[in-house]
Amino acid sequence: MSLDTVISYLQNYGHWIILLVLFCGITGIPAPEESFLFLVGVLVAKGHLEFGTSFLYAFMGTVAGMFASYWLGRKLGLPFIERYGKFIKITPDRWKAVEKRFHEHALTTLLFGFYLPGLRQLAPYIAGISTYSFLRYVLLSFLGSGMWTAAFISIGYFFGDRVKLSYLPWIAAAALLLFVLTVFRKKFTNKA
């Protein structure tokens, strides 16, 4: 898919695409959330999208993903972990440790966990399964979502004038390569 096609989709269906990509990414469906928000910021800087509306839809997609994941975790609950946890190496003892650590660091996890891929996707499920206070969860999800989406759109916006649109596929490829290398490095060092 060419950059012109992406820009065309974003101009025609832009805000709904922003919402959908972020909803998918937060719920754990693979999506390039940070690089996508950066692209949105670049397109805002270039005049293809409007900042306020783009931020609003990004925020709504993120919050919707957080709520869906929390709800799913709450509905499936501990019986799901007990039944299927063994397939993803979550023993009952490991779950107790994860739950304890989450409750000790819930504020930090829900506010700043957005900046760490993986944690951003797992935290809502953990909160739901461990029946973390929904009111606190809503407050922290709103604050964390707002800070994270504003930060990455703003970075794209402020660097957008310095980035030629034709460079974006190369930047995306470099980001993807860096991500893949990081994952392989982590897997390799964990086995050693």
pLDDT at 3 (0 to 100):
64
The two three-digit tokens of residue 171, written as one number: 């930047």
How confident is residue 13, by pLDDT bands cut at 50, 70 and 90? confident
The full length of the chain comes to: 192
Q: How far apart are CA 124 and CA 67, in angstroms?
A: 8
Contact call for residues 42 and 156 (beta carbons, < 8 A): yes
Q: How far apart are CA 85 and CA 154, in angstroms?
A: 39
Q: How far apart are CA 47 and CA 60, in angstroms?
A: 22
Contact call for residues 14 and 49 (beta carbons, < 8 A): yes
How confident is residue 180, by pLDDT bands cut at 50, 70 and 90? confident
**For the segment 115-163, what is each residue's pLDDT rounded down to a tens digit?**
888 889 999 999 999 999 999 999 999 999 999 999 999 999 998 777 6
Whether the predicted pLDDT of 47 surpasses 70: yes
Contacting residues for 55 by C-beta, under 8 A, at least 6 apart: 149, 150, 153
Among 25-29, 40-44, 47-51, 186-190, which is the least confidently predicted range? 186-190
Helix, strand, coil in percent for the chain, rounding step 5? 85, 0, 15
In angstroms, how far apart are the furthest CA atoms of the chain? 52
Distance in angstroms between the alpha carbons of the first and the last residue of the chain: 39
The two three-digit tokens of residue 33, written as one number: 């959330």
Whether the predicted pLDDT of 114 surpasses 80: yes
Q: How far apart are CA 18 and CA 158, in angstroms?
A: 19
Instruction: Name the domain count of the chain.
Output: 1
Q: Which residues span the domain enclosing 60? A: 3-191
- Residues of the chain with pLDDT > 70, as a percent, come to 92
Whether the predicted pLDDT of 2 surpasses 70: no
pTM to 2 decimals? 0.81
Q: How far apart are CA 186 and CA 174, in angstroms?
A: 18
pLDDT at 37 (0 to 100):
93
Residue 120 burial (C-beta neighbours within 10 Å; 0-12, 13-18, 19+)? buried
Q: What is the average pLDDT across 169-176?
A: 72
